């Protein structure tokens, strides 16, 4: 087993992890334009929400299995298997381009593959990070994730305008393949041990408020990433890319500040204000159709997202043994995926009744209720 040791190997391992994550998330960021593809195929709001939900549902149901495999067979094998599965599912769009049973099944498989990669890369970062600086190292790591989310939707829009959606899917496949090649260079940081159910129960005990926090961020992102691209406020050319750029810019700025030493941004006291910003941003979207509103909401919600997730990640992994970190990261990510699934599928159905504009107010109200519950629940 390769064990990184010393500053040089530590920094080299983190650089490879960050590069693999950037390419993986570049591939995923191209799929932020997938609702537009479905809309052009004639999909209804419920169908668009269903397909977006299936991507996350596959990820959600695979999280427990992925967490167990990460701890038992190692990080690199699971990440590599996830990359290959996601790559196969992306390439399937050239064979099954329209919504049907094969199309839907392969979206589930795509979600499973991406969940293995996401959880595995997060576990590697947890293994490599000094315990006292885990939130800061995670914040820097996620800068690369969100840099991809900032750039690639705009790049994807340009590809679509010039050549259509299939070259976009080809670009997503190439990025995923390049990420797989980098995964082969990752160190194996796991220390597999026999299964210990009591440890998993211990991980879950007392983590409810943290998991609810991760779910709420998933709820907000699922709402924004699925329904902003097809809402009236983003109808003008270039606005989808503009929104995701603003969202990612806010997120990256906060993560960089936290990772580079603004310790207040990584404190638990920031959670409740961040939830409030997400709720206000969701509620503000349908109140106008100007580009400035779109940018401001993107910046604010991205910044709030950037605050919550490193804090929750760091708190959840406090004192967690190395041979259970894969499970812990999977649990953290599963809560986020559940929030995305609930938003995309549930609000897609609601949009059939009240339209795309109305669902942002519903999403904001649920955010307020959830944030209040997480705050009260977490007080002891």
pLDDT on residue 364: 94
Whole-angstrom Cα Rg for the chain: 19
Whether 285 maps to a domain, the answer reads yes
**Cβ–Cβ under 8 Å, residues 336 and 214:** yes
Total count of residues recorded for the chain: 380
Whether 180 maps to a domain, the answer reads yes
pLDDT score of 217 more than 90: yes
Query: Over the stretch 244-289, which tens digit does the pLDDT of each residue have?
Result: 889 988 988 887 787 666 677 767 888 889 999 999 999 998 887 7
Query: Over the stretch 159-207, which tens digit does the pLDDT of each residue have?
Result: 998 998 999 999 999 999 999 999 888 888 776 554 454 455 555 556 7
Query: Over the stretch 9-61, which tens digit does the pLDDT of each residue have?
Result: 767 888 888 899 999 999 988 888 888 888 888 877 778 878 877 877 888 88
Q: Round to the nearest angstrom and report the end-to-end CA distance of the chain.
A: 41
pLDDT score of 333 more than 90: no
pLDDT on residue 300: 94
Query: Over the stretch 114-139, which tens digit does the pLDDT of each residue have?
Result: 989 988 888 888 788 776 666 677 77
Whether 51 maps to a domain, the answer reads yes
Q: Which domain holds residue 268?
A: 6-188+201-378
What is residue 71's three-state secondary structure? Answer: helix
Whether 355 maps to a domain, the answer reads yes
What CATH number is given to the structural domain containing 255? 1.20.1250.20
Transcribe 84-109 into DSSP letters.
HHHHHHHHGGGT--SSSHHHHHHHHH
Query: Over the stretch 97-116, which tens digit does the pLDDT of each residue have?
Result: 888 889 999 999 998 999 89
Query: Over the stretch 150-160, which tens digit does the pLDDT of each residue have?
Result: 788 889 889 99
pLDDT band at 4 (very low <50, low <70, confident <90, very high): very low
Give the integer Cα–Cα distance in Å for 25 and 45.
Answer: 25
Whether 1 maps to a domain, the answer reads no
Closest of 373, 339, 62, 319 to residue 203, by C-alpha? 319
Give the integer Cα–Cα distance in Å for 43 and 36.
Answer: 9
pLDDT on residue 132: 65
pLDDT on residue 198: 42
**What does the pLDDT average to over 365-379?**
88
pLDDT band at 5 (very low <50, low <70, confident <90, very high): very low
Closest of 286, 288, 281, 272 to residue 302, by C-alpha? 281
Whether 195 maps to a domain, the answer reads no
Closest of 32, 269, 293, 56 to residue 150, by C-alpha? 32
pLDDT on residue 1: 40
pLDDT on residue 128: 80
Whether 354 maps to a domain, the answer reads yes
Whether 193 maps to a domain, the answer reads no
Phi, psi of 32 (to 5 degrees): -65, -20
Using alpha carbons, list the distances in angstroms from residue 310 to 88, 184, 257, 319. 31, 27, 12, 16
Structural domain count of the chain: 1
Instruction: Give start and end residues of each alpha helix (H) in the chain.
Output: 6-30, 34-40, 45-72, 75-91, 101-128, 134-163, 165-183, 197-204, 208-227, 239-259, 271-284, 291-316, 325-341, 347-378
């Amino acid at each position: 087993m390769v064990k990184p040791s010393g500053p040089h190997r530590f920094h080299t391992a983190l650089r490879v992890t960050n590069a693999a994550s950037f390419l993986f998330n570049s591939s995923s960021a191209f799929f932020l334009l997938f609702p537009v593809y479905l809309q052009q195929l004639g999909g209804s709001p419920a169908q668009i929400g269903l397909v977006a939900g299936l991507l996350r549902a596959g990820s959600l149901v695979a999280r427990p299995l992925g967490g167990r495999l990460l701890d038992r067979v190692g990080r690199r094998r699971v990440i590599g298997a996830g990359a290959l599965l996601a790559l196969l599912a992306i390439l399937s769009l050239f064979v099954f381009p329209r919504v049907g049973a094969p199309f839907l099944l392969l979206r589930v498989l795509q979600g499973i593959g991406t969940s293995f990669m996401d959880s595995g890369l997060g576990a590697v970062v947890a293994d490599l990070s000094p315990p006292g600086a885990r939130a800061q190292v995670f914040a820097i790591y996620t800068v690369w994730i969100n840099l991809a989310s900032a750039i690639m939707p705009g790049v994807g829009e340009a590809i679509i305008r010039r050549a259509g959606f299939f070259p976009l899917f080809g670009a997503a496949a190439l990025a995923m393949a390049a990420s797989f090649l980098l995964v082969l260079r990752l160190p194996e940081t796991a220390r597999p041990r026999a299964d210990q159910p009591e440890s998993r129960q211990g991980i879950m005990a007392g983590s409810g408020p943290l998991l609810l926090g991760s779910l709420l961020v998933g709820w907000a992102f699922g709402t924004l990433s699925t329904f902003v691209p097809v809402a009236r406020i983003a109808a003008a050319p270039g606005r989808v890319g503009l929104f995701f750029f603003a969202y990612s810019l806010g997120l990256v700025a906060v993560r960089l500040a936290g990772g580079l030493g603004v310790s207040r941004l990584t404190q638990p006291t920031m959670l409740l204000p961040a939830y409030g910003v997400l709720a206000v941003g969701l509620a503000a979207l349908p109140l106008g159709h100007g580009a400035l509103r779109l940018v401001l909401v993107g910046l604010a919600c991205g910044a709030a997202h950037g605050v919550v997730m490193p804090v929750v990640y760091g708190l959840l992994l406090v004192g967690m043994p190395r041979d259970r970190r894969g499970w812990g990261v999977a649990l953290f990510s599963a809560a986020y995926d559940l929030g995305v699934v609930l938003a995309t599928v549930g609000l897609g159905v609601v949009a059939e009744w009240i339209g795309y504009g109305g669902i942002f107010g519903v999403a904001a109200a649920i955010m307020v209720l959830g944030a209040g519950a997480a705050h009260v629940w977490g007080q002891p």
